[in-house]
């Protein structure tokens, strides 16, 4: 679906934003592109959506070199930017209708898209009266209007409350189920962990690691389980104990804690994506 | 380039432009100015030709048809002095002084009857023709002869200023430049800057619509408004006259120049403040030929320094002097060369704009 080989991009001022990165994305995959501000993820996305030309390296999208695509590229590619960019004097329905009319292929009914993100009641409201979260939801569904094969989503859950954030994640998963490929740029490790099939860490224009969140957690986490319990009844202070995961069923000390004490929490100690990012790059995502 | 997408985007421009303060300002301003000028100087609201008559004896049969004429305002004066004073100050455009015994002399087969016609120096040619024709017909009907067989001798005398341009005519060039340039330049420029600042331009260019489609739709909007405003201003000022096809060609070239210049200015202006700064600083260069035209004593060659002269001059030549293509060929050639240069510049600007947009996002 998308293949990037030795991609480099240098801005006109001489700043080398991307330095020879390689990755491929399979059809139907959700690929998370993670990195702090200035790492090169936005530049990579701008190159992939044909906003920035003059890159070095080889990029193939939907079976064709990116340089050979013309503006029909956007009939098959959907883009949702990080910041909402709508016509504030038009209503939500009018905004979608305008963009819909620019595509020549089959498109979704704007009313259904608005319903999908809970904006059906606000279809006839001007965008100037929308909150940022509402504008973000509209931003997201606008990218789906023309049923694209490949979606570029930049921080799709930023500014959303947990309920709407969850709704967006479910829609992204549904798009994957429908066979669409998703390139997701984010610095939200939780979102990446929850919905991405694979993630790539980018820092200083270079990809430092690519794998599935599960593999990363397993590789970088400690194979231990942490138990919080009360030794002398619930009124006593909670105590903690850690046990190796291997041979846990035969660990008499662990079994004794479980049998004889009220348990408050019990967790395996796999690493979070954020821990792994910090560990592998030595940087935080902020 | 896709015509259907350009039309969709043009519809969007019209829709958004209808609620844009700047659009309303540039469209309404020239119309308001036209009406104000007409109100102050009288050409629009008092266009009915004005005729004053002093009848030294009883020439009612010649005067009555003029008093009853639906298209002219006729006033009778009690003395020759009152009549000449009225003509001198412009209250009447033509003053007709009928000497004693005029009616009798006309009815008899005697020789030629002499009388005096006073003309106000600033009277418009159109009104003079209408009045003189009405007077001639009234006299011909009065004695039952043909208008070309009237046995009269006319002493024509001009009173008041010798300038044959009314204030409305002097201000018309400025109004025309304002309407064509403001409409054509402001709308594409402000619309482009607004879309760039609100990032809707980048949203459009990540659809099958190209940057060229977007630019063309905005330029077309400016062109349409510019042409429309020019026609409205000419009509409001009673100046939509002469060779219509030639007039429309000049208006179209003017609209093209203004709108292409506008979209280029919109592209190179960092933001709305920068654009307004450029307009404030350079606006005088655009309006200069119109301002100079207000003062007929200023030599014509000074106006030729400014590009908008080559738009204003052919418009005036066609509408006021009935010029043909040969008379304004040089002006049209200059406009075509300017338009070609601007289009080449625009092509280069669009190329750079794509990169600029990506960097601004």
The model's pLDDT over A222-242, given as tens digits with 9 standing for 90+, comes to 888 999 998 877 677 788 999
B354 contacts chain A (CB < 8 A): yes
Residues B99-126 have a mean pLDDT of 77
In a domain, A280, yes or no: no
Query: Does A56 score more than 70 pLDDT?
Result: yes
Comparing alpha-carbon positions, the chain A residue that sits nearest to B195 is: A87
B contacts of A12 (beta carbons < 8 Å): 355, 359
Query: Which 3-state string (H, E, C) describes B74-87?
Result: EEEECCHHHHHHHH
A125 within a domain of the structure (yes/no): yes
Minimum distance, in Å, between the CA of residue A218 and any CA atom of chain B: 37
Q: Would the pLDDT of B240 be above 80?
A: no
Tell me the C-alpha distance between B79 and B159, whole Å.
Answer: 16
Give the pLDDT mean for B35-61: 73
Which residues of A, range 112-171, sit inside 8 Å of B by Cβ? 142
Give residue B43's pLDDT.
53
Question: How many angstroms away from the CA of A201 is the closest CA of chain B?
Answer: 22
**Residue A243 forms part of a structural domain:** yes
As a whole number of angstroms, the distance between CA B281 and CA B348 comes to: 24
Residues from chain A contacting residue B198 (CB–CB below 8 Å):
85, 88
A264 shares a domain with A176: no
Clarify whether residues A135 and A174 are in a common domain. Answer: yes
Say if B282 is an interface residue toward chain A (CB within 8 Å): no
Rank A239-248, A276-285, B100-109, B235-244 by mean pLDDT and report only the highest: A239-248
Q: How far is B193 from chain A (nearest CA, A)?
A: 14
Q: Does A87 touch chain B (CB under 8 A)?
A: yes
| pLDDT value at residue A285 | 63
Say what the pLDDT of residue B324 is.
84
Most A CBs within 10 A among B15, B203, B204, hence the mutation to make, goes to B203
Residues A21 and A35 in one domain: yes
Chain A residues whose CB is inside 8 A of the B358 CB are: 46, 51-52
Q: Do B358 and A90 touch (CB under 8 A)?
A: no
Please report which confidence band the pLDDT of residue B45 belongs to, taking 50, 70 and 90 as the band edges: very low
What is the pLDDT, as a whole number, of residue A280? 78
In this prediction, residue B42 carries a pLDDT of: 56
Write the DSSP assignment of A150-184 as a string of letters: EEEEESTTTT--HHHHHHHHHHHHHHHHTT-EEEE
Q: CA of A47: which chain B residue's CA is closest?
A: B358
The number of C-beta contacts closer than 8 angstroms across A and B is 62
Asked if A212 is an interface residue toward chain B (Cβ–Cβ < 8 A), one would say no
pLDDT in tens, B345-354: 998 888 888 7
Quote the domain boundaries for residue A226.
222-269
A102 touches chain B (CB under 8 A): yes
Mean pLDDT (whole number) for A52-74: 90
Rounded distance between C-alpha atoms, residue B345 and residue B335, angstroms: 15
Whether the per-residue pLDDT at B44 is higher than 60: the answer is: no
Q: Look at B199 and A85 and tell me if their CB atoms are within 8 Å.
A: yes
* Number of structural domains found in chain A: 2
Any bridge partners for residue A7, and if so which? A21
User: pLDDT tens digit string along B147-186?
Assistant: 677 777 778 887 776 555 666 677 778 888 888 887 788 8
Tell me the average pLDDT across A157-185: 91
More confident residue, B138 or A22: A22
Chain A CA closest to residue B357:
A51
Q: Does A71 touch chain B (CB under 8 A)?
A: yes
B280 touches chain A (CB under 8 A): no
- Residue A283 domain-assigned (yes or no): no
Of B12, B209, B357, the CB nearest to A51: B357
Q: Which residues of B touch A72 (CB under 8 A)?
A: 208
CA A40 to chain CA mean position, Å? 16
Same domain (yes/no): A21, A112 = yes
- Residue B359, chain A, CB below 8 Å: the answer is yes
On average, the pLDDT of chain B sits at: 82
Interface probe for B, chosen from A52, A102, A107, A130 (most Cβ of B below 10 Å), is: A102
Let me know whether A210 and A231 are in one domain.
no
Residue B290: the pLDDT is 78
Q: Is B89 exposed, middle or buried (0-12, 13-18, 19+ CB in 10 A)?
A: exposed
Answer whether residue A249 shows pLDDT above 70: yes
pLDDT of res. B40? 67
Domain ranges of chain B: 3-40+166-360, 50-159
Same domain, A73 and A163: yes
Give the residue, A192 or B123, on which the prediction is more confident.
A192
Residue A282 domain-assigned?
Answer: no
Statement to judge: residues A211 and A228 lie in one domain: no
To the nearest 10°, report the CA torsion of B190, B191, B192, B197.
80
| Contact: B209, A83; criterion CB under 8 Å | no
* Chain B residue nearest residue A87, CA to CA: B200
Cα separation of B104 and B71, whole Å?
28
Q: What is the CATH number of the domain that holds A48?
A: 3.40.50.300
- For residues A190-215, average pLDDT: 89
Mean pLDDT of A126-132: 91
**B355·A12 Cβ contact <8 A:** yes
Using CA atoms, how far apart are residues B6 and B68, in angstroms rounded to an integer? 56
Fold of B50-159: abc type-2 transporter like fold (3.40.1710)
Claim to verify: residue A86 and residue A152 sit in the same structural domain: yes
Residue B76 bridge partners (DSSP): B53
Contact residues for B297 (Cβ-Cβ < 8 A; gap 6+): none
Say if residues A87 and A97 touch (Cβ distance below 8 Å). Answer: no
Q: Is residue A204 part of a domain?
A: yes
pLDDT value at position B289? 81
Instruction: Supply the angle between the helices B3-17 and B187-197 in degrees, to the nearest 10.
Output: 90
Q: Is the domain of A138 the same as that of A113?
A: yes
The closest CB to that of A75, out of B5, B199, B208, belongs to: B208
**A277 found inside a domain:** no
């Amino acid at each position: 679906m998308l293949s990037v080989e030795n991609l480099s991009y240098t801005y006109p001022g001489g700043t080398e934003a991307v330095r020879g990165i390689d990755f491929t994305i399979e059809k139907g995959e959700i690929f998370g592109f993670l990195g702090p501000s200035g790492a090169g993820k936005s530049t990579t996305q701008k190159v992939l959506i044909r906003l920035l030309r003059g890159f070095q390296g080889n990029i193939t999208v939907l079976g064709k070199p990116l340089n050979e695509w013309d503006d029909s590229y956007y009939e098959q590619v959907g883009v949702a930017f990080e910041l909402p960019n709508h016509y504030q004097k038009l209503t939500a329905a009018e905004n979608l209708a305008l963009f819909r009319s620019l595509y020549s292929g089959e498109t979704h009914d704007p009313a259904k898209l608005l319903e999908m993100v809970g904006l059906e009641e606000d279809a006839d409201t001007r965008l100037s009266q929308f909150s940022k979260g509402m504008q973000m939801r509209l931003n997201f569904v606008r990218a789906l209007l023309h049923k694209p094969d490949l979606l570029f989503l930049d921080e799709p859950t930023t500014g959303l409350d947990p309920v709407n954030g969850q709704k967006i994640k479910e829609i992204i998963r549904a798009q994957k189920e429908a066979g669409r490929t998703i390139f997701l740029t984010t610095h939200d490790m939780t979102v990446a962990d929850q919905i991405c099939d694979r993630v790539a860490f980018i820092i200083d224009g270079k990809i430092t690691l690519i794998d599935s969140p599960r593999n990363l957690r397993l590789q970088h986490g400690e194979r231990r389980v942490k138990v919080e319990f009360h030794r002398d009844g619930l009124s006593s202070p909670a105590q903690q104990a850690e046990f190796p995961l291997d041979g846990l069923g035969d660990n008499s000390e662990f079994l004794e804690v479980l049998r004889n004490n009220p348990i408050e929490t019990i967790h395996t100690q796999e690493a979070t994506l954020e821990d792994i990012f910090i560990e592998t790059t030595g940087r935080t995502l902020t | 380039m896709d015509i259907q997408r350009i039309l969709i985007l043009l519809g969007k421009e019209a829709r958004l432009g209808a609620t844009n303060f700047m659009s309303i300002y540039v469209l309404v301003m020239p119309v308001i100015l036209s009406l104000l000028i007409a109100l102050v100087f009288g050409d629009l609201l008092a266009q009915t030709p004005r005729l004053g008559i002093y009848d030294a004896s009883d020439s009612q049969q010649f005067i009555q048809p003029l008093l009853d004429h639906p298209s002219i305002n006729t006033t009778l004066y009690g003395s020759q002095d009152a009549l000449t004073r009225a003509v001198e100050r412009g209250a009447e455009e033509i003053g007709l002084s009928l000497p004693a015994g005029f009616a009798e002399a006309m009815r008899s087969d005697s020789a030629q009857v002499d009388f005096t016609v006073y003309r106000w120096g600033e009277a418009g040619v159109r009104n003079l023709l209408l009045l003189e024709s009405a007077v001639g017909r009234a006299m011909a009907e009065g004695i039952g002869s043909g208008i070309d067989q009237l046995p009269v001798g006319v002493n024509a005398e001009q009173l008041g200023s010798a300038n044959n341009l009314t204030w409305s005519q002097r201000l018309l060039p400025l109004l025309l430049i304002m309407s064509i340039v403001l409409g054509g330049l402001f709308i594409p420029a402000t619309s482009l800057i607004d879309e760039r600042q609100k990032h809707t331009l980048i949203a459009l260019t990540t659809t099958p619509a190209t940057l060229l489609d977007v630019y063309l739709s905005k330029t077309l909007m400016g062109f349409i408004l510019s042409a429309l405003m020019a026609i409205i201003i000419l009509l409001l000022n009673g100046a939509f006259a002469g060779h219509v096809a030639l007039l429309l060609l000049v208006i179209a070239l003017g609209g093209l120049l203004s709108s292409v210049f506008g979209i280029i200015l919109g592209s190179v202006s960092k933001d709305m403040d920068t654009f307004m700064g450029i307009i404030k600083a350079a606006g005088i260069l655009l309006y200069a030929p119109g301002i100079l035209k207000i003062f007929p004593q200023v030599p014509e060659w000074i106006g030729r320094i400014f590009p908008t002269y080559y738009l204003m001059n052919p418009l005036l030549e066609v509408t006021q002097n009935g010029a043909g293509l040969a008379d304004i060929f040089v002006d049209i050639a200059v406009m075509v060369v300017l338009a070609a240069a601007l289009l080449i510049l625009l092509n280069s600007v669009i190329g750079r704009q794509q990169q600029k947009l990506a960097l601004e996002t």
